[in-house]
Amino acid sequence: MNEMLPCVEIDAKVPATASVIFLHGLGADGHDFEPAVPLFGLPWARFILPHAPAMPITINGGYVMPAWYDIRSLGFDPHAGPREDEAHIRASAAAITRLVARENARGIASDRIVLGGFSQGGAMALYTGSRHPETLAGLLVLSAYELLADKREEQARANFDTPALFCHGRHDPLVPMFAGRAAHDAALRPGRDVRWHDYPIQHEVSTAELELVSGWLHERLPR
């Protein structure tokens, strides 16, 4: 995890002035979100879709698959002990931060970078973005939840006011909507643009949701 994550990169159609780093969910890879990129109509943005490392996943019987961190249980009971592997979370966050730094080196300022993801990837985007030392353009959290909520004191002041969009399926059997809503509520601060939208879907992304995300990305990364 000390090396640069392998990525699917979809370059801008014109000189890039913005970047979107989008993190896939458990068992998927960077290609998962690739078909959505043309729908957003952001020819000035570079899309970075990294592949998570492969690791054994406890809830799947130790089966090895792409993941940002191990999940030890399916429940969301805060009294049941650690649900996720904290060391994996921190290692993945460091790797994602290196991707942001690489975009900075390519001439894209942090405030022109949106960090987002789906499910595990959305949880990592929220965790990493909230702790990033430079202000980002926005945080996109799809069908996800908050990681290490008991360590919010680590969050960086630079992103206290960063706009965030949370979307969730009302019938999600894997990440219940109450977990996503709790993450949204924890991000609320006076004056901060934090939005919530839910849809009559399960653990997935709908066409209506992608249309909403497109409009939000245009707000956060205008030409």
Residue 82 identity (one-letter amino acid)? P
Angle, CA of 45, 48 and 50, to the nearest 5°: 170
Strand pairing class (45-50; 18-23): parallel
32, 70, 172, 198: the active-site residue: 172
Q: Which of 203, 206, 214, 218 is catalytic?
A: 203
The dihedral sign for the CA sequence 61, 62, 66, 67: positive
Which entry of 19, 92, 110, 119 is annotated as an active-site residue?
A: 119
Q: Is 203 a catalytic residue?
A: yes
Residue 206 annotated in active site:
no
Q: Where are the alpha helices (DSSP H) in 132-206?
A: 177-187
The DSSP element (H or E) to which 127 belongs, if any, is helix 120-131
Q: Which residues are catalytic?
A: 119, 172, 203
